[in-house]
Amino acid sequence: MPRKIIIDTDPGQDDAVAILLALASPEELEVLGIVAVAGNVPLPRTSLNVRRIVELSGRTDVPMYAGCPRPMLRPLVTAEHVHGPTGLDGPHFPYPQNALQDQHGVDFIVETLMAAEPSSVTLCVLGPMTNVAMALVKEPGIVRGIERIVAMGGAYFEVGNITPSAEFNIYVDPEAAATVMACGVPIVLAPLDLTHQVLVTPPRMEAIRALGNPAAHAVGEMVAFSERFDREKYGWDGAPLHDPCVIAYLLKPELFSGREINVEIETMSPLTRGMSVADWWRVTERKPNALFLRDVDGDGFFALLCERLGRYPLPG
Ligand code: BDR
Ligand code: CA
């Protein structure tokens, strides 16, 4: 039986690759719905981008929703400097013919989890945690339906990418992240420490492009756009695929390793807002609340990604 998942996302090129990876894996993952949140770009863009990616995938059966247009307490911070003004700069996407559901994304999450068997739905969170936190505030009883939350967010050894001390997804809505981290369900975090190990190097890019189908072509174009930022900023040999780590973890957990530790979110300090304070060395008595992933088999990850992207049909 495939694992039931909800994807909560702010596409973003790496979100798009994560969605394509999930939608190419129906034996393992049943995608109950995809919910957009404001993050990399504002909500009208992220929800349009969800529609673009789902249309590219050829899947007409996956419902899509728009969630929250801004963080719980703060004005929205976006990342067009990384992802471009559309959030999905790179390929040309035709205007999608599909449509969002009318229901609000937070209500979809609440309704789905309240109707679910106990511990049966996995939440995959690829952007700021606003929608999930709002769902927890609206109906705390949803925790019963959650199997676990797997989220891209935070950093410890790599510290920050949007400020010296904070990773983007947590920084944008630290109150939401703090709400989620305290909710008591099992949580897996894919922090920058992990995602900075999966770089699309030139040979990996070639392998993706060689697949020859429209989905893989779009992935190549998206990564080619987003990598210029990482090359200039970090001097790296390619772009990191942050969000696909969440989906790859569900498909092949044996590629990953980490530690069960306590992770708290800084919400008060203007200097370190959104810092994920990870007790990696277990120097406090604070109870572990997350599996904090630290290492990944990068070649295994790319072999999985190429195999799954290769499932999309060739043109014509
Ligand atoms: C995270 O921020 C976004 O820019 C990416 O999509 C990813 O989810 C990395 O910090
Ligand atoms: Ca994202």
In this predicted model, what pLDDT tens digit does every residue of 203-238 receive, in sequence order?
Answer: 999 999 999 999 999 999 999 999 888 888 888 889
In tens, the pLDDT along 118-138 reads 999 999 999 999 999 999 999
CA distance 73 to 178: 12
Task: Give yes or no for residue 193 CB within 6 A of ligand 1.
Answer: no
Query: Residues 6 or more apart from 203 whose CB is under 8 A from it?
Result: none
Count of C-beta atoms within a 10 Å radius of residue 65: 24
In tens, the pLDDT along 158-182 reads 999 999 999 999 999 999 999 999 9
Distance 253 CA to ligand 1 centre (A): 21
Task: Give yes or no for residue 221 CB within 6 A of ligand 1.
Answer: no
The number of residues in the chain equals 316
Judged against a pLDDT cut of 80, whether residue 31 lies above it is answered with: yes
The two tokens of residue 65 are 């929703």
CA distance 49 to 44: 9
Q: What is the mean pLDDT of residues 193-210?
A: 96
Residue identified by tokens 């970090």 is 234
Distance 127 CA to ligand 1 centre (A): 6
Distance 277 CA to ligand 1 centre (A): 18
Best mutation site among 7, 37, 40, 125 for ligand 1 pocket (most ligand atoms within 8 Å of CB): 40
Judged against a pLDDT cut of 90, whether residue 149 lies above it is answered with: yes
Count of C-beta atoms within a 10 Å radius of residue 195: 25
Task: Give yes or no for residue 242 CB within 6 A of ligand 1.
Answer: yes
Task: Give yes or no for residue 243 CB within 6 A of ligand 1.
Answer: yes
Judged against a pLDDT cut of 80, whether residue 57 lies above it is answered with: yes
Supply the mean pLDDT for the chain: 97
pLDDT at 41: 98
Strand, coil or helix: what is 119? coil
Radius of gyration of the chain (CA): 18
- Percent of the chain with pLDDT strictly greater than 70: 100
Q: What is the mean pLDDT of residues 30-45?
A: 98
pLDDT at 254: 98
Say whether 81 is catalytic: no
- Residue with CA at minimum distance from ligand 1 atom 4: 40
Task: Give yes or no for residue 190 CB within 6 A of ligand 1.
Answer: no
Cis peptide bond prior to 12, omega within 30° of 0 = yes
Distance 118 CA to ligand 1 centre (A): 30
Best mutation site among 8, 10, 41, 189 for ligand 1 pocket (most ligand atoms within 8 Å of CB): 10
Task: Give yes or no for residue 152 CB within 6 A of ligand 1.
Answer: yes
CA distance 109 to 176: 15
Ligand nearest to the CA of 163: 1
Task: Give yes or no for residue 15 CB within 6 A of ligand 1.
Answer: yes
Q: Dihedrals φ, ψ of 235, to 5°? A: 70, 25
| Angle at alpha carbon of residue 32, lines to 72 and 137, rounded to 5° | 25
Judged against a pLDDT cut of 80, whether residue 316 lies above it is answered with: no
**Res. 114 pLDDT band, cuts 50 70 90:** very high
pLDDT at 93: 95
Q: How many CA atoms lie within 13 A of 274 on its CB side?
A: 27
Nearest atom in ligand 1 to 82's CA: 4
Distance 15 CA to ligand 2 centre (A): 5
Nearest atom in ligand 1 to 126's CA: 8
CA distance 178 to 158: 20
**Res. 191 pLDDT band, cuts 50 70 90:** very high
pLDDT at 237: 87
DSSP E strand boundaries for the chain: 3-9, 29-36, 64-66, 121-125, 146-152, 187-190, 256-261, 263-265, 276-278, 290-296
In tens, the pLDDT along 74-107 reads 999 999 999 999 999 999 999 999 999 999 999 9
pLDDT at 118: 98
Judged against a pLDDT cut of 80, whether residue 272 lies above it is answered with: yes
Q: What is the mean pLDDT of residues 229-250?
A: 92
pLDDT at 232: 83
Q: What is the mean pLDDT of residues 59-68?
A: 97
CA distance 116 to 57: 26
Task: Give yes or no for residue 169 CB within 6 A of ligand 1.
Answer: yes
Among 3.40.50.300, 3.90.245.10, 1.10.730.10, 3.40.640.10, name the CATH number for the domain at 3-196+242-309.
3.90.245.10
